[in-house]
Structure 1
């Protein structure tokens, strides 16, 4: 039974060096039987905390 692996790609460019390294890590982890999900942070809207309590 494999593990769940979450990859957060911080590369601002899709297909950039860091993004390609994430893809290679993902491929290797999948080959070992792990469940892998990659999220590109640049494609998400991330805002700071607004202290809404």
Structure 2
């Protein structure tokens, strides 16, 4: 599925798809020179968003 990179950090890129969903994918699974605003073709079913990392800052 074609998506557009809407944000990036050192390890992750956030991709918005045509159907309105957004997912985070490893930056290392994308082409090396991808930038914010670029279109990428990824399988949304192969990526899975998990938010199981609890960080205690106090």
Q: TM-score, normalised by structure 2?
A: 0.23
Q: TM-score, normalised by structure 1?
A: 0.24
Higher relative contact order (CA 8 A, sep 6+): 1
Which has more helix, going by share of residues?
1
Could you say which structure has the larger radius of gyration?
Answer: 1
Which has more strand, going by share of residues?
2
